Chains A and B, each alone.
Chain A
């Protein structure tokens, strides 16, 4: 293939200055034709003036066809409109541009490239030429796309499994009063259809049906309350301050139950991005669970320790440790499912909501049995890095 760069010709002997000039030109040509990238030089208004050897090798087309890039298929049709827009804006404004796009190789395969153009300016600042470098990033781009795809599939699976778990919980909870209604209705009909109808018995079963229907409605109302409180308002917070708010709210309650509260709140915590009210709810829920766990533990000293700390550089952690009845390690996961409760009169949604709030903060909430009596519940939330704050 003939080199597109004009060969330096002219008189053989230009003296030492000419020889140095020729060496310099040779070196430039060496760089341009051997650099691991596709290089082209454009006129001030964006027409292709010259390209290096790699461009010809990649595209396998003559310069005339390359110049028609905006109307033939050498740029992937999905990418073309955006490339045209970015390129035209750069030429008009005289500012550097960069796009990520697919170019068609000589064998017909499209590969991903970065396409970067820099203006060469005259003394008055006006672009006189454009230097363009195309870099093949196909393998990296495909690897990144695969990771993105896996990540979004994972997020989808997580969403679906949360919805599935919730559906199972709701079905379980609603099927109980439905059993009451269906059975009472069956009994009611039998009592009415008997040769001597038992009207008092029938009335009694009808009243029970109403009660069961209201129980089913209560389940729905609880769910509605749960999902209507989804509005979050994020601000930069010190988790120790949030803990102090909650302690102020809860301390008289704890004193009444003769529970000693020990607070170990770190002052040098990193700020987190969080919703103050929602995080207060989580901490209050953990404290009130601790309180309930200790109301059944009569013979021991009742104490709860609330502690905040910075873990590594990346996370702040808050833990609530009690000396209550404790929890088996094997039942720990069940505690976080909706409507699961171990307490008389418990709704079974406190920890479930708490976990969903912490997860909205990109954090984790978990529980562990203590070495001694009681259990510890902990959540950790990431501290935003400088670039994401």
Chain B
């Protein structure tokens, strides 16, 4: 059996950290969750993540800041942003800046799995 890709979820909201892992695991991935960008950067998962699901409005270092920081470290991996901020132009800007997708909460389960599949090169 081949090793499953690791998807890391970084979101300060508990409802999100509790619900997303079941779905992502069901979709065929390993999952780890983090409450902040700093927690993620301090973990070994930085080296292993195949895809990041990243909240935009994290306290401390924001989602887009984390993405830039990883690029600077040469550790960039595909990012799917999620956000509860209703700003209309945000998804287009983040995708233009290199994100796989930016999903507005609440999003459909199929939409999230599609984005992860694309990020991990499955379709």
- The interface of chain A, by Cβ under 8 A from chain B, is 168, 171-173, 175-187, 190-191, 201, 204-205, 208, 211-212, 215, 342
Contacts and interface: CB of A to CB of B under 8 A. Distances in A.
B44 interface: no
Interface of B: 13, 15-16, 18-20, 22-23, 26, 57, 59, 82, 84-86, 105-110, 112
19 contacts: A171-B86, A176-B13, A176-B105, A179-B13, A179-B15, A179-B107, A180-B16, A181-B15, A183-B16, A183-B109, A187-B19, A187-B26, A190-B26, A205-B19, A208-B19, A211-B15, A212-B15, A212-B18, A212-B19
A108 to B, nearest CB: 51
Given A168-B86, A180-B16, A183-B112, A175 B22 contact: no
A212 to B, nearest CB: 5
Given A179-B106, A186-B110, A205-B22, A215 B15 contact: yes
A190 B113 CA distance: 12
Nearest to B15: A180
A29 B18 CA distance: 94
A274 B73 CA distance: 56
Contacts of B15: 176-177, 179-181, 211-212, 215
Given A176-B16, A212-B19, A186 B84 contact: no
A181 B107 CA distance: 10
Contacts of A187: 19, 22-23, 26, 109
Contacts of B108: 182, 186
Nearest to B110: A186
Contacts of B107: 179, 182
Contacts of A177: 15
A177 B11 CA distance: 13
Nearest to A188: B22
Nearest to B87: A168
Q: Which 10 A-B pairs have the closest CB atoms?
A: A186-B109, A180-B15, A175-B84, A180-B19, A183-B19, A178-B106, A179-B105, A179-B106, A182-B106, A176-B13
A19 to B, nearest CB: 89
B106 A175 contact: yes
A191 B86 contact: no
Nearest to A173: B84
A200 B112 CA distance: 23
A342 B16 contact: no
Contacts of B86: 168, 171-172
Contact of B23 (A172, A181, A183): A183
A177 B23 CA distance: 16
A181 B22 CA distance: 12
A37 to B, nearest CB: 60
A184 B105 contact: no
A191 B27 CA distance: 11
A187 B15 CA distance: 14
A178 B22 CA distance: 16
A178 B105 contact: yes
B57 to A, nearest CB: 8
Contacts of B59: 342
A178 B106 CA distance: 6
Nearest to A216: B15
Contacts of B110: 186
Contacts of A208: 18-19
Nearest to A204: B22
A304 B108 CA distance: 49
B28 to A, nearest CB: 12
Nearest to A189: B109
B26 A191 contact: yes
Nearest to A172: B84
Given A177-B15, A178-B105, A172 B22 contact: no
A115 B57 CA distance: 63
B105 A175 contact: yes
A187 B110 CA distance: 10
A179 B23 contact: no
Select the residue from A171, A181, A184, A186 with max chain B CB neighbours within 10 A. A186
A201 B26 CA distance: 10
